Amino acid sequence: MSFEGAIPDVYERYLVPLLFRPYARDLARRLAGRRPRDVIETAAGTGAVTRELAAELPPETSITATDLSGPMLDRARAVVPDRPVRWVEADATALPFPDGSCDAVVCQFGVMFFPDRPRAFGEALRVLRPGGVLLFNVWDAIGANGFTAVAEAAVAEVFPADPPDFMSRVPFAYHDAAVIARDLAAGGFTTPPQIETVAERSRAGAARDAAVALCQGTPLRTEIEARPGRSLDEVTGAVEAALADRFGTGPIEGPLSALVVTVTR
């Protein structure tokens, strides 16, 4: 699953403000209330949460941001404010840090992509100090997230024989609280997690911006480009039309829903 090529730039320009910024601020504010000394972020992407952590946490708090994708981290370095951040290309299932390295591990919309979630949770547990916290969010069901649901349906109409289902199959597939709690326990956490459903609003200047974000700033792009018959621009146009039909032709707004998970060591 690739977040390389043109994806990092489109992701940062369009997808971060569309979907990620409200929840990045939410995570940073939750973490700031705990006053951690050392924070490790996994699956940092282009730095949406890293920027908010840099703004919310006191200067003496150390921030280490990691991601499996070097191109995504390169994009993050270019946009994070002038504050010391340690950037490390790393796999969340094999973190290159000693036991008890930090007071908090934070992850924004990355857990869904981990091939072995209990192992990743075990790594978070290992690097946490006693009393430390793992804080992460995951998307709720795709039907509760308006723009994405409309986009996936529109893409399916373009390719009815072989509909690309990246969105519902991966980023919007890990929303069962019981499964999340089970995976945390399998990773070694003994404290029951707090799991809260948080509603936000998604906004875009126009339907075109949302269509570009979803079709060209995620691995859905790879699935579209792998199918013959219609170009990426044509499919993006079909999604734009569907979004405009549902949400309007000017600035548009739609529902977002995610689960925020907090669990202590």
The burial class, CB within 10 Å (0-12 / 13-18 / 19+), for 42 is buried
Question: Which tokens is 261 given?
Answer: 């998970």
136-173 pLDDT, tens digit per residue, is 999 999 999 999 999 999 999 999 999 999 999 999 99
Q: CA–CA separation, 147 vs 167, rounded Å?
A: 11
pLDDT (0 to 100) of residue 121: 98
DSSP string covering 122-139, please?
HHHHHHEEEEEEEEEEEE
Q: CA–CA separation, 265 vs 261, rounded Å?
A: 13
Instruction: Report the alpha-carbon angle 145-146-151, nearest 5.
Output: 105
88-145 pLDDT, tens digit per residue, is 999 999 999 999 999 999 999 999 999 999 999 999 999 999 999 999 999 999 999 9
Full-model pTM = 0.93
- Give start and end residues of each alpha helix (H) in 12-135: 21-32, 48-56, 70-79, 117-127
pLDDT at position 3 over 70: no
Instruction: Report the alpha-carbon angle 233-43-52, nearest 5.
Output: 90
pLDDT at position 208 over 50: yes
Question: How high does pLDDT run on average in the chain?
Answer: 94
At residue 2 the predicted structure's pLDDT band, cuts being 50, 70 and 90, is: very low
SS3 40: strand
pLDDT at position 7 over 60: yes
Place of tokens 């691995």: 219
